[in-house]
């Protein structure tokens, strides 16, 4: 009997379920249901997606692990009543962890940039591999993917620095004399403010980085496989 093919990982669903949704829950929902229930709800997304991905692909999803750590750090700091400097450290630590994961993947057979961009649902990955084999350029293309992944890891390092500087300005120490409810309200406001500003200060440079890296990737595909963007993309 032929072995059933392993389902491909979806980089964008990874980001949504393991990072974006948990962060939104911690930032926006905790004020309505309380910090601890919000923490449990936020944990459910990376935990559930990681379990589903483990069943489908038969391997541990590193992004689900990172998502769990991010939620645990954020929710744990809030539950312990820590604020100020520690939230700035957390905000810098998460992109550092992601950057280290991306950096490590550059030295594997499947760099993360391949998982993120070379999606069989959007691109003719089989055609790309066929052309690379015909031209005997698989090694050169893999080296190109490695460089693109290293560039992506550098973007996370840049994001970590921006995160820390921004968080240091936003997460000021909360007066311990205030009631726990008042402290929770102020902390939620700080988290919401961090989320809002990070969209402009961090997200925009990150998008520019991603676009530049994607163009660099397409250039490699054209140079080594001789495929244009139109030839590579699947018709909708």
**Are residues 38 and 92 located together in one domain of the fold?**
no
Domain assignment present for 173: yes
The answer to the question of residue 215 being in a domain is: yes
Say how far apart CA 20 and CA 42 lie, in whole Å. Answer: 10
Predicted pLDDT at 130? 93
Q: Which of 24, 54, 81 is the last residue of a domain?
A: 81
pLDDT score for 2: 42
Same domain as 68, residue 87: no
DSSP, res 8: P
Rounded to whole angstroms, what are the CA distances from 41 to 31, 82, 83, 197? 13, 21, 22, 24
CA distance readout (Å), 125 to 58, 59, 120, 157, 221:
21, 21, 6, 30, 11
Find out whether 30 and 78 touch, Cβ atoms under 8 Å. yes
pLDDT given for residue 1 in this prediction = 39
Collapsing DSSP states into helix, strand and coil, what is residue 178?
coil
- Say whether both 114 and 64 belong to one domain: no
Domain that holds residue 220: 83-235
* Total structural domains within the chain: 2
- Classify residue 2: in a domain, yes or no: no
136 and 44 in a common domain:
no
The whole-number pLDDT of residue 8 equals 58
Residues 217 and 126 in one domain: yes
Q: Domain ends where: 81, 99, 118?
A: 81
List the structure tokens of 146.
């490695």
| Residue 3, pLDDT score | 46
Rounded distance between C-alpha atoms, residue 38 and residue 24, angstroms: 10
Instruction: Tell me, yes or no, whether 1 lies in a domain.
Output: no
- 64 within a domain of the structure (yes/no): yes
Residue with tokens 């998982």, as numbered in its chain: 115
* 41 shares its domain with 141: no
> Do 176 and 105 reside in the same domain of the chain?
yes
Task: Say yes or no: 77 and 89 in one domain.
Answer: no
Tell me: do 155 and 126 sit in the same domain. Answer: yes
Last residue of a domain, one of 47, 65, 81: 81
Alpha helices for 58-203 (secondary structure H): 62-79, 85-105, 112-117, 125-134, 138-170, 180-198
Chain centroid to CA 9: 13
The answer to whether position 3 is within a domain reads: no
Q: How far apart are CA 19 and CA 46, in angstroms?
A: 8
Taking the chain (236 residues) in runs of 10, the rounded mean pLDDT of each run is 52 77 76 77 85 78 74 73 77 83 89 83 88 93 93 90 88 82 76 74 82 91 90 78
The span from the CA of 30 to the CA of 36, in Å, is: 8
Q: Tell me: do 32 and 112 sit in the same domain.
A: no
């Amino acid at each position: 009997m032929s072995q059933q093919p392993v389902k491909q990982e979806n980089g964008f669903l990874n980001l949504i379920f393991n990072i974006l949704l948990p962060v939104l829950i911690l930032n926006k929902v905790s004020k309505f249901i309380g910090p601890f229930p919000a923490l449990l709800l936020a944990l459910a997304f990376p935990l559930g997606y990681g379990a589903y991905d483990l069943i489908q692909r038969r391997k541990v999803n590193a992004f689900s692990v990172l998502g769990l750590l991010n939620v645990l750090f954020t929710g744990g700091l809030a539950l312990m009543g820590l604020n100020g400097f520690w939230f700035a450290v957390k905000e810098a630590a998460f992109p550092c962890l992601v950057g280290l994961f991306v950096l490590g993947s550059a030295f594997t057979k499947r760099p993360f940039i391949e998982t993120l961009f070379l999606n069989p649902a959007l691109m003719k990955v089989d055609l790309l591999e066929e052309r690379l084999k015909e031209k005997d350029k698989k090694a050169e293309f893999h080296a190109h993917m490695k460089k693109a992944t290293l560039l992506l890891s550098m973007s996370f390092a840049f994001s970590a620095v921006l995160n820390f500087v921004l968080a240091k300005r936003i997460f000021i120490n909360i007066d311990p004399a205030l009631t726990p409810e008042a402290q929770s309200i102020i902390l939620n406001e700080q988290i919401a403010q961090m989320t809002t500003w990070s969209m402009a200060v961090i997200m925009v440079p990150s998008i520019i980085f991603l676009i530049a890296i994607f163009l660099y990737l397409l250039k490699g595909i054209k140079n080594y496989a001789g495929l244009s963007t139109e030839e590579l993309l699947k018709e909708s």
